[in-house]
Structure 1
């Protein structure tokens, strides 16, 4: 497979704008992931959004988007970086979809066992 993928790391939030800690977390996660993905030649961070879930406007999330080349290696790297850097690894969901295609994200990792669905 020669294609790229979109990867999203999602953190639950308590409000649409997040707290000061949520903003700090966003900045650190983006910094660490961009550096790690770039050094490993696997991709880069492509932005973020914070706010309501599209599927449930009563819930809020921080989504950090990346463009990656190797799905399995990139997911493993993201998990390791967040765990080793103590960036709230126990609260994340990771999902991917093929780059350039208008599909839905597929959940690849969840901090909660038994979770099978993912939405932005």
Structure 2
């Protein structure tokens, strides 16, 4: 049995609940990732949350959570799907953490150079 990981795709939001486009984006990203992860037998989408960031209550984010079975292949697949589907790939952060363990997420991809920290 392979080890599992949590993978989170994070988009910045301008408000706590987001706008109509943010809601559309959430639905499309979840739909594309669910199909792609299932087709590749790499995992599934587990849900989402949106609202204030824990690390900075003045910032807001949309987090889409996935459970994946292979960390590197899962990250590569998510990046490719979001880029090819034109789902605001240039705004994302991707972080992972071992499944079933109370640890912190580790940033694995940032749309912008110089970002090293990640928080929900």
TM-score by length of 1: 0.99
In the other structure, the counterpart of 2:78 is 78
Q: How does 1:23-62 map to 2 (within 5 A)?
A: 23-62=23-62
Structure-1 separation of matches of 2:85 and 2:91: 14
Paired residues, what number?
A: 120
Q: Deviations over 1:76-101 (max 9, x none)?
A: 00000000000000000000000000
Q: 2:2, 2:71 → 1: CA distance?
A: 11
How far is the alpha carbon of 1:3 from its aligned partner?
A: 1.1
Paired residue secondary structure (1:35):
helix
Please state how far the C-alpha of 1:34 moved relative to its aligned partner. Answer: 0.5
**Aligned partner of residue 41 in structure 1, secondary structure:** coil
Aligned pairs (5 A) from 1:1-120? 2-120=2-120
TM-aligned CA deviation for residue 65 of structure 1? 0.1
- Which consecutive residues of structure 2, in runs of 5 or more, have no partner in the other structure? none
Task: After TM superposition, give the deviation of residue 39 of structure 1 in Å.
Answer: 0.5
Aligned structure 1 segments of 4 or more residues deviating by more than 3 angstroms: none
RMSD across aligned positions (CA): 0.8
Q: TM-score, normalised by structure 2?
A: 0.99
